[in-house]
Structure 1
Amino acid sequence: MRRVPAAGPSGVMAALARPLRGAVASLRALPPLRAARGGAGRSGAGTEVLGKGFKRGVVLSAGSFLVYEAYGLISRFAEVHASSKVEEVVEQADYLYGSGETEKLYHLLVQHKTSEDAELLWRLARAARDLAQLSSTSAEEKKQLVYEALEHAKKALEKNESNFAAHKWYAICISDVGDYEGIKAKIANAFVIKEHFQRAIELNPKDATSIHLMGIWCYSFADMPWYQRKIAAVLFATPPTSTYREALRYFHMAEEADPNFYSKNLLYLGKTYLKLNNKKMALLWLSKAREYPAHTEEDKQVQKEALELLNSI
């Protein structure tokens, strides 16, 4: 079987044009329709004209059909080509993410910032945020990247509302932006953040990270300073609230979904048990956090905080 050229849509068009030209040429070679026997004069001439018109109609109809089919094939080829391109970039991105190559990952994905694919866009949001978290990133660059990450996450959500990761990273990025917009915006955003974390968990109950982040949300509001509580009470009739026990439940759920998946989940299990005055369990989880292999800067920060808390017990 002859293969379609791999030179992209233009190559496919050229390949399709050959049989199209052949079909039209064959149709043009048809003999003209003649008048019926005995039909002379004006009647015969009219039939001759009718015959020519009919033949042109057949040629045009067949040509239009083949062009339509060619267009459909090109469209399907373009879709498959675009899909395989996305898969290739996603594969490269996941490799770089797993290797801790934050800057390389961002530079790979930012080339696709105009993509219509949610899988690329939420990964770009994550990469921009991770780049903002690096100690080598200046304060000005960090702010720019935080807002950029939110835009990518928002676009990912617009492209696919059923993508759990888009919900997760949209919530994370809104939380980050709150650091630049004051306490009122941060508390107001808390309702939106909770909604999107819950939606992410609903879409993918096995995603340990979404469950962990819901735990962080609960811990943050359980641990909210008194002055922020007063501000929240003034600004909102029913401000967001939570408890350490609710946070603990989510941290354990995350660990059950994917044991030892994240150093910070181990750290927060230890911190939450400390808040609940359970030193035995706090020692257990803080020790695990301290011993967790440090692959990223965040892991190193977790190890440092875990050690400080262990020394304070």
Structure 2
Amino acid sequence: MAAGARNILRNWAQRLHCPHTRLTGRSFSSAAHTHIPGKFSLLKKGLALSSLSFLAIESYRWKCKHTVVYASIKVEDVKEQADYLHGSGETEKLYEFLSQFKNSEDPELLWRLARASRDLAQLSKTPADVKKRLVYESRDLAKKALELNESCSAAHKWYGICLSDVGDYEGIKVKIGNSYIIRDHFQRAIELNPKDATTIHLIGLWCYMFAELPWYQTKIAAALFAAPPSATFEEALIYFEKAEEVDPNFYSKNLLYLGKTYLQLKNKELALNWLCKARDYLIRTEEDKEVHKEATDLLKSFGEKV
């Protein structure tokens, strides 16, 4: 899951808290019925952002189908509209919108489409066969973004996330083998953007996963790899706390895992503190709902009033 993005994010968190963030841009001009030399006048002012409604996107899509579109679309405008839709939780609209640029050579558009594809896969209503297609599609898009720009922090992050999802379809050997690659991409993303709380959280999650790896999977890993991946709950805690330091309360799942990690370390007082924060986190996404339920169930197991 989230996919569940999303960008897994300071800007992401801000957009969720401020869904009516003002966007700027210019509207489309009318399409001419006669040939106009030079650049096509239809998109001469770039992608319309004067309206934040889906109608604007539909209008653009209709025009794309009925005219030749030249490279006059402003990438910055597309990115801004995509980030607005992402922050607003408009997963399906965002995927439709960005799918027009699936053949783009711009890594900023490709990793955003990878994120949208992955988020759509994470929706509970997405059929299993569609989910699988989207999982592989998101991986390929993120990989292409990386090939175009190795210095793109977000491309490293989303390639790591999407590669992890692919492991669910390819067995324990591939999943464990990919874990090294995933960790390396997360670490590279942090090198490029040390203030990305989401990626810091993801490395913490990586450590937590291997710290609690069932014994039989540990034996499988040891049999398959000379140096199987390993980590401790103490290492996971360092990353979860660092993520909160960089961006307090940015992500419900980070709060939950702080609580769970403290439980593993036998610190009940701090565990309950973080689990209460996770339970009380404002629910906006399906993942937030899952976090709320897990935190509530854990608190009940300790006799806490919920």
Fold conserved (TM > 0.5)?
A: yes
Amino acid at match of 1:241: S
User: Any idea what the Cα deviations from partners look like across 1:243-298, whole Å, max 9, x if unmatched?
Assistant: 00000000000011111110000000001001111110010100000100011111
Query: Aligned pair 1:222/2:211, yes or no?
Result: yes
- In the alignment, is residue 257 of structure 1 matched against residue 254 of structure 2? no
CA–CA distance in structure 2, aligned partners of residues 119 and 209 of structure 1: 18
Instruction: Name the amino acid aligned to 1:226.
Output: W
Equivalent of 1:137 in 119, 123, 126:
126
- Structure number with the higher helix fraction is 1
- AA aligned to 1:11 is G
Q: 2:280 aligned to 286, 291, 294, which one?
A: 291
The amino acid that maps onto 2:155 is A
Amino acid at match of 1:287: C
> Over alpha carbons, which structure has the higher Rg?
1
Matched, 1:211 2:200: yes
Pairwise CA distance, 1:12: 6.0
Q: Which residue of 1 aligns with 2:64?
A: none
Specify the code of the residue in structure 1 equivalent to 2:80. E
Letter of the aligned partner of 2:231 in structure 1?
Answer: S
Letter in structure 2 aligned against 1:91? E
CA distance in 1, matches of 2:188, 2:286: 29
Instruction: Return the letter of the residue paired with 1:206.
Output: K
- Say if 1:111 and 1:280 are closer, same or farther in 2 by CA, change over 3 A: same
In 2, Cα distance between the equivalents of 1:12 and 1:257?
45
- Alignment-derived partner of residue 113 in structure 2: 124
Instruction: Specify whether residues 214 and 9 from structure 1 end up closer, same or farther in structure 2 by C-alpha distance, changes over 3 A only.
Output: farther
Query: Which residue of structure 2 aligns with residue 103 of structure 1?
Result: 92
Aligned residue among 278, 292, 304 for 1:303: 292
- How far off its partner does 1:89 sit? 1.0
Offset of residue 123 of structure 1: 0.7
Distance in structure 1 (CA, Å) of the matches to 2:39 and 2:271: 64
Does residue 293 of structure 2 align to residue 266 of structure 1?
Answer: no
Q: Which residue does the alignment assign to 2:180? A: 191
Note the alpha carbon deviations across 1:179-238, whole angstroms, 9 max, x for none.
000000000001100100000000000000010000000000001000000000000110
Q: How many residues align?
A: 241
Identity of aligned residues (%): 69
How far off is 1:9 after superposition? 9.5
Return 5+ residue gaps in structure 1 as ranges: 1-5, 14-77
Partner of 1:11, secondary structure, is: coil
User: 1:11: how far off?
Assistant: 2.8
Query: Aligned partners of 2:240 and 2:184: how far apart in 1?
Result: 18
Which residue number corresponds to residue 11 of structure 1?
A: 38
Output one character per residue of 1:25-84: Cα deviation in whole Å (capped at 9) or x when no partner.
xxxxxxxxxxxxxxxxxxxxxxxxxxxxxxxxxxxxxxxxxxxxxxxxxxxxx87x45xx
C-alpha separation in 2, matches of 1:251 and 1:221: 15
What is the Cα deviation at residue 139 of structure 1? Answer: 1.0
C-alpha separation between the residues in 1 aligned to 2:196 and 2:295? 24
